[in-house]
Amino acid sequence: MSWVMRGLHERNGLESAGDDPVKLIDAHHHLWDLDTHRYPWLQEAYVPSTFMGDYRPLRRNYLPEDYLRDSARQRVLATVHCEAEHARDDPVAETRWLHQQHARYGLPNAVVAHVGFHRPDCEETVQRHLAYPLLRGIRCKPVTAPRPGVSLRGQPGTMQDERWLRGLALLEKFGLSWDLRVPYWHLAEAAEVAAAFPGIPIALNHTGFPWDRSPEGLAGWRAGMERLARQANVHVKISELGQSDAPWTVAGNRQVVRETVAMFGIERCLFASNAPVSGLRADYDTIVYGLRAILKDLTEDQLQAFFWGNAARFYRIALH
């Protein structure tokens, strides 16, 4: 083999079970060590009202060994780690720790770190992250409304906040991408931001969060996705399709996946697991094989683009 991961599971003593593995780059997953680092959402008071439902099973270490075990049946070429809401007083500590994991395990192969765009030390923090060679992008979640029909436009930390936008603009200066994470009722606003910053590559997280699968909810999600898809600098991670009150199924997710591909084109769609959060509703293989089943009518070249080629290009991952 000549891939950069070169038998990643074998290197780490894990054998792939069964046959028919899918070759992939996982464009979005998380790792955390609660013994050595601080993640307030995992270590402080439990908040029952989240899109994840009961997330208490996540309140444990999730280390490279755990990820490798969960993904062992697949042929993982490389992975992209997205910031996991590490303590905001030192986001660079997470980037440093991830590079230590890469040195030991060969993953992750790209890092999307956190920077507070609205903070006065935003540029300094970006530069500190840039000392680490796997840095490819930044995720800074804007302030969002709790439900459709509530407007926070222009408030501090929103996508109209001039200070927040100045921080976002730094990504073009430093050649970094932006991981965009907002609920579907903010997708139209995100499209305005994408249009204002055409030089910044943007990866929409989690299929735009189609949480509400009612006709009205899907109509709202679809309208926002269509506007965002018109911006050529926006890609989308097809991930986190789990619902707090329903299992992950091919039948339940087929429509939103097919519509997303139709809107963005397969060349702007990336496979991503969102492990371990996605594990609350489905194991790794259910997600991989489920997406392959939903997209089974695509050509082999299109499937390869979706499962690994697009992510390699977007996150600038060299596969040797």
Q: What is the pLDDT of residue 1?
A: 32
Domain count, the chain: 1
Q: pLDDT at position 157, please? A: 94
Distance, in Å, from the CA atom of 103 to the CA atom of 92, rounded to the nearest integer, reads: 17
Whole-structure pTM value: 0.94
- Burial category of 209 from C-beta neighbours within 10 Å (exposed 0-12, middle 13-18, buried 19 and up): buried
pLDDT at 17: 42
Is 319 a member of any domain? no
Residue 280 inside a domain? The answer is: yes
Q: Is residue 267 part of a domain?
A: yes
Q: Does 308 fall in a domain?
A: yes
Query: In the 8-state DSSP scheme, what is residue 62?
Result: B
What pLDDT sits at residue 8? 57
CATH code of the domain containing 164: 3.20.20.140
Residues 6+ positions from 159 with CB-CB distance below 8 Å:
142, 165, 182, 186, 189, 190, 192, 193
Domain span at residue 263 reads: 8-314
Whether residue 3 lies inside any domain: the answer is no
Dihedral angle computed from the Cα positions of residues 65, 311, 136 and 201, in that order, rounded to the nearest 10 degrees? -150
Residue 221 lies in a domain: yes
- Where do we find the tokens 């690994």? 308
pLDDT of residue 4: 46
Q: Which residues contact 126 (CB under 8 A, 6 or more apart)?
A: 115, 138, 170, 171, 174, 176
Residue 320 within any structural domain of the chain: no
104 domain residue, yes or no: yes
Per-10-residue mean pLDDT of the chain, 320 residues long, equals: 45 51 98 98 89 90 98 98 97 98 98 97 98 98 92 93 97 98 97 98 97 95 98 97 86 97 98 97 96 97 98 95
